[in-house]
Structure 1
Amino acid sequence: MAKEGVKARELKRQKLVAKFAEKRAALKAAGDYEALDKLPKNASPVRLHNRCKLTGRPRGFMRTFGISRVTFRDMALAGKIPGVKKASW
């Protein structure tokens, strides 16, 4: 389980990216790189990192479900994810 501060920091970055998205796009289209440098560093979408919504785990993220592989497996075996069942052949 990730620390609450790490999850909060990532959420803060997501909000900052959304806030400056239009401004960044306009500055990039105009080629004004000096103004881009003056924007906050965390306003860049490159600094975002996918994390599990439940545990905050940074690795093994499944984009389709928004959770880590470990959490996905636990929830799938418990029947908490509709339409997902264990494969056997």
Structure 2
Amino acid sequence: MAKKSMIARENKRKKLALKFDVKRQVLRETIRSPKSSFEQKESAQLQLQKMPRDSSAARIRNRCGLTGRPHGYYRKFGLSRNKLREATMRGDVPGMVKASW
């Protein structure tokens, strides 16, 4: 089980990323646009830099939905390998069975 503070920090990052997502996209488009003047691009970069660091989607870490474990995470299921195995053995994951050959 991951520390509660780490899980809370990740949840905070997700909320901030959602909150600032549209604003970040607009600023990035302004910076990339060839039609923007140098002053517009410069002001957009400054505004982007002044935003909270945790509002960037790149800072979000995928974690297990049950334990908060950051490693061995399967995106398709939202679980770590350990909890995915337990769920599979219980039969909670349809179509997934233990490998045997």
- Same-fold status (TM-score > 0.5): yes
- Structure 1 distance, partners of 2:100, 2:72, is 23
Q: What is the root-mean-square deviation in Å for CA atoms of aligned residues?
A: 0.9
Count, aligned residues = 89
Deviations 1:54-88 (A, max 9, x none): 00000000000000011101111121222211122
Q: Which structure 1 residue ranges, 4+ long, deviate > 4 Å from structure 2? A: none
Give unmatched runs, 5+ long, in structure 1.
Answer: none
Aligned partner of 1:69 in structure 2 is 81
- Structure 2 distance, partners of 1:35, 1:28, is 10
Q: TM-score of the superposition, structure 2-length normalised?
A: 0.84
- Structure 1 distance, partners of 2:99, 2:85, is 12
- Structure 2 distance, partners of 1:77, 1:68, is 14
Q: TM-score of the superposition, structure 1-length normalised?
A: 0.95
Give unmatched runs, 5+ long, in structure 2.
Answer: 32-43
Percent of residue pairs identical: 47
- Structure 2 distance, partners of 1:42, 1:23, is 14
- Structure 1 distance, partners of 2:29, 2:48, is 11
Greater Rg over alpha carbons, structure: 2
